[in-house]
Amino acid sequence: MIKSIILAAGKGTRMKSDMPKVLHSIFDKPLIGYVLDSVCKTGSISENFVIVGHQAELVEKYIHENYKQSTCIKQEPQLGTGHAVSMVIPYLKDYTGNVIILCGDTPLITSDTLKKFLQFHEEKKSDITVMSAVFDNPQNYGRIVRNADDTVNSIVEEKDADEIQKTIKEINAGIYCINWSKVQSAFSDLKNNNAQGEYYLTDIIKWGNEQHLCVNAYTLTDNNEIYGINSRANLAEAAKLLNKRSLDKLMASGVTIVDPASTWISPETEIDTDTIIYPSCYINGKNKIGRHCKIGPFAHLRGDVILEDYVKIGNFVEVKKTTIKSHTNACHLTYLGDSEIGTNVNIGAGTITANYNPLTKVKSKTIIKDNVKIGSNSVLVAPVTIEEGANVGAVGVITKSIPAWALAITRAPLRIIENWVTRNK
């Protein structure tokens, strides 16, 4: 097992935001959450160290609530990436294993790539391994300069590169794996004799060569995985890339996406074969959708939704924290939240589960049993249970539970006043 260090101290000035950059979200998950998930899914990590700085308390709160095997360490003042890693030294005094170092603003990195990266480090018996990528246009990236034996000599930033070095297309991807016992002392030796007065993590490559260590580079196959977020435009582009990855995976597994250009599905959503997703759907968070379902068009699943087989969620239907069993339909203009809905249920157009009490701030559950029929424009005021086979008449406002096979009607009788319009003109 190894340790990880996630660099997450930066402000992200170009985001123009009151919020730390790593807490900006794609599909409602912060950027750093994607990085930590990929790291943890390698199955090789025993502990994560997250280096925080700007608005540290907000980042720490998110980490502590969601990633139990993680320790936040504050970098203050912030003197560069090399200095950030040095913050971990007191926590790893007697540690002799490997450490992987990543940035908290690269949400597209995958656990599969990290597994291959760690395996490469072991197979090469490397002391330092840097991840690299090959770009046709490597402008503004630090170049990987290799030795004749294919090991890495140095990383040269573009501003410092000569004309020959600028022709190199292999660039630094910003992810490292190091043998901690051999490389730890590098962070005491780094110099800050640069325009920014900072200690750069990239300098450990040169240091490693001076110490006659084994320094290698692992080259990525998909350059999108190291796409970093520095602006709102970057955030939007990363969301598109993550969504495309999700849609491609679903279509390859047997899901029909009628219009990928207008469909958004989170990578944490599982969808079984022969389900059809119609245009303009937004499926967010973690969900599980069965076989032969039909979703949309213009449907919104907000997370924690389970749909069994043959469920229909139609146009302008919103679902949140709800389980819906097989052969149930909610076809039009409906909100279903905090609910359990049985099999062979029909939810009429305009139905709302009123699950939130604005005075007490409490959300309550609506339970609809098998074979229930809910009439159009009904409001089910939770907590409430509609027992098996019951029918709710259209325009019903249901404030207490309905027994099995009963009919619930709350609307006033229809009155027709003859010639009323003529008399009142």
**Tokens coding 131:** 């991840």
Helix, strand or coil, per DSSP, at residue 87:
coil
Residue 52 pairs with which residues in a beta bridge?
8, 74
Q: Are 198 and 86 in contact (CB under 8 A)?
A: no
**Tokens coding 258:** 């009628």
Residue 128 pairs with which residues in a beta bridge?
178, 215
* Pairwise CA distance, residues 29 & 22, whole Å: 10
- Reduced to 3 DSSP states, what percent helix, strand and coil does the chain have, rounded to the nearest 5? 25, 30, 45
Q: Catalytic residue among 54, 292, 300, 332, which?
A: 332
Active site residue 64: no
- Name the residue type at position 98: N
Q: Are 337 and 308 in contact (CB under 8 A)?
A: no
- Name the residue type at position 79: L
Q: Which helix (H) or strand (E) holds 123?
A: helix 111-123
**Tokens coding 4:** 């990880």
Question: Dihedral sign, CA of 107, 110, 114, 116?
Answer: negative
* Pairwise CA distance, residues 401 & 225, whole Å: 51
- 126 CB burial (10 A radius; 0-12, 13-18, 19+): buried
* Pairwise CA distance, residues 21 & 10, whole Å: 7
* Pairwise CA distance, residues 105 & 361, whole Å: 34
- Name the residue type at position 244: K
Dihedral, CA of residue 103, residue 106, residue 112 and residue 116, to nearest 10: -40
Spell out the residues 6+ positions from residue 262 whose beta carbon is closer than 8 angstroms to its own: 279, 280, 281
Instruction: For the chain, count helices (H), then strands (E).
Output: 10, 33
Q: Are 265 and 285 in contact (CB under 8 A)?
A: no
Pairing of strands 170-179, 98-103: antiparallel
* Pairwise CA distance, residues 281 & 312, whole Å: 13
* Catalytic sites, residue numbers: 332
